[in-house]
Amino acid sequence: MKAFKLENEPKIESGFKIPEHYFENFSEKLMHKLPENEPKVISLFQKNKKIFMMVAAVLIIALLVPVLYTSTVNVNSKEIDTATLESYLSYQSNINQYDLINGLETDEINNINTTIALEDATIEDILVSNANLEHLIME
């Protein structure tokens, strides 16, 4: 058998055929298949993320300031305000008036026991104008 030599043979074509109008339709078909370059959708939050974060930080600080301030004031204050003390003594404690008096110095008691100098006429006026007081005296 004669040896086959590629270079001695006429060019062998691949023999592949292409359907008619294939390329005309191909470009049109492909252009529809291309992913569209749609602008990226960025949410409002993402777009202004920095600003949102800054506003949030400022708000948190603003909200924390009064809390921190009052808590430090309370911690540092050693004095009890009068209203609290009064309400405690009146409703919460077992201390009676005598206990309180025992706790006071003589000078302080003297200060409380100031005599109120009232004219008789003044007392009469008060009794006349306040009928309720008369009832009390009667009892």
Residues of this chain that bind another protein (CB under 8 A): 1, 3-7, 12-19, 22-23, 26-27, 29-31, 33-35, 37
Q: What is the separation of C-alpha 52 from the centre of its chain, rounded to a whole number of angstroms?
A: 16
Report the alpha-carbon distance of residue 79 to residue 72 in Å, rounded: 14
Q: How far is the CB of 58 from another protein (least distance, A)?
A: 39
What is d(CA 40, CA 125) in angstroms, rounded to the nearest whole number? 92
For another protein, the closer of residues 18 and 131 by Cβ is: 18
- Please report how close the Cβ of residue 53 comes to another protein at its closest, in angstroms: 31
In degrees rounded to 5, what are phi and psi of residue 95? -75, 130
CB 12, min distance to another protein, A: 6
Closer of 15 and 103 to another protein (Cβ): 15
